[in-house]
Amino acid sequence: MHPPTARRCKATLATWAVGAAAGTCLLAPSFTTAHAIAGDRVFPSTMAIDDPGVGDEANFQYSSMRMPTDNGDKTINTFNAEYDKLVTPSLAVSVDGTYMMQNNPHARGFDNFAVGLKYLLYVNSGHEFMTSVGVDAELGGTGARAIADNFSTIAPTIYAGKGMGDLPDSLAYLRPIAITGQAGPALTTGAGQPNAFNYGFAVQYSLPYLQQHVHDLGLQRPLSNLIPIVEAPLFRSQGQTTGTVNPGVIWVNRFGQFGIEAQLPINRASGSSVGILVQAHIFLDDVAPATIGKPLFRP
């Protein structure tokens, strides 16, 4: 649920692929009832920016990136875990923690912990469109002194997703395309600390959608469950834009997904080499809809 803050652009949030239990859940073949749905469109949980849906889910990410400093490059590795819980079918809360390791200078420990709130505003099934709003708060002083800031960052954000399933028959093979995006400020509480504007988008081509709603090409698993994707998380602060362009692929089914992306810095300030982003994601609202994945309240 959490968009990267201005500070986190130095180490783009990433995924941690772990857990035999998660792997067991993801081996099931069905792909029909994941949480972010608009008509025939299932929006996957993207890695560098957030999807427009809400749900009961657990996300694990790993990232590795080299960043320039005044004393040479440093490597930053992050392990991130997030849990989102539905309060109602349209409202979710989240908690988020990141463990970071870096060299030059050597430091390791937890980054500041974060909490969030996200509300699904609108879904148009016929046009495969959905939008939501949220706010994330990174709590200053909750992480290790060598890693985390002593000030908080508040990030109100709007999210949107649009599938191309309403294109005419002449453009049928473009229908598997979907575009998602997010935008919002990152407002710091520290005196003299710069604010930022975070934004980004993802373009994806869903092979499951192609097989099920356009033309069955006879693809077999795992190819039939793949979604090639390009994400671009971007950050604007103090007159400078930083970010990455992330080509990758997501393997998704009913109960969750795995993903991997390269992180290509858009300029020297964004990174000094190509990074990697890895994800394991579990749809708890599909794994255990009657227990842990059930909303706390239903209208």
What pLDDT shows up at residue 69?
87
Question: Region 166-189: what's the mean pLDDT?
Answer: 98
Which has the higher per-residue pLDDT, 217 or 11? 217
Instruction: Give the tens place of pLDDT for each residue, 261-277.
Output: 999 999 999 999 999 99
User: Is the pLDDT confidence value at 13 over 90?
Assistant: no
pLDDT on residue 1:
63
pLDDT of residue 35: 72
Residue 7 has pLDDT above 70, yes or no: no
CB 154 within 8 A of CB 187: yes
For the chain, what percent of residues have pLDDT higher than 70?
89
Q: Using alpha carbons, list the distances in angstroms from residue 178 to 157, 165, 235, 281.
A: 20, 9, 22, 20
Q: What is the pLDDT of residue 24?
A: 35
Q: Rounded mean pLDDT of 117-130?
A: 97
The reported pLDDT for the residue numbered 15 is 34
User: Between these two residues, 3 and 90, which has the higher pLDDT value?
Assistant: 90
Domain boundaries, the chain: 7-287
Q: How confident is the model at residue 9 (pLDDT cuts 50, 70, 90)?
A: very low
Q: For residues 18 and 53, what is the distance between their CA atoms, to the nearest angstrom?
A: 23
* Whole-number pLDDT of residue 70: 82
- Report whether 56 contacts 84 (CB < 8 A): yes
Using a pLDDT cut of 90, give the percent of the chain over it: 83
Higher pLDDT residue, 24 or 244?
244
| CATH, domain range 7-287 | 2.40.160.40
DSSP 197-210: EEEEEEEEE-HHHI
Report how far residue 81's alpha carbon sits from residue 61's, in angstroms, rounded to the nearest whole number. 6
- Over residues 48-73, the pLDDT tens digits come to 999 999 999 999 999 999 999 888 89
Q: pLDDT confidence of 289, banded at 50, 70, 90?
A: very high
User: From CA 14, how far away is CA 231, in angstroms rounded?
Assistant: 13
Say what the alpha-carbon torsion angle 256, 41, 207, 214 is, to the nearest 10 degrees: 150
At residue 137 the predicted structure's pLDDT band, cuts being 50, 70 and 90, is very high
Q: Inform me whether the pLDDT recorded for 10 exceeds 60.
A: no
Residue 281 pLDDT exceeds 80: yes
Q: Is the pLDDT of residue 235 over 70?
A: yes
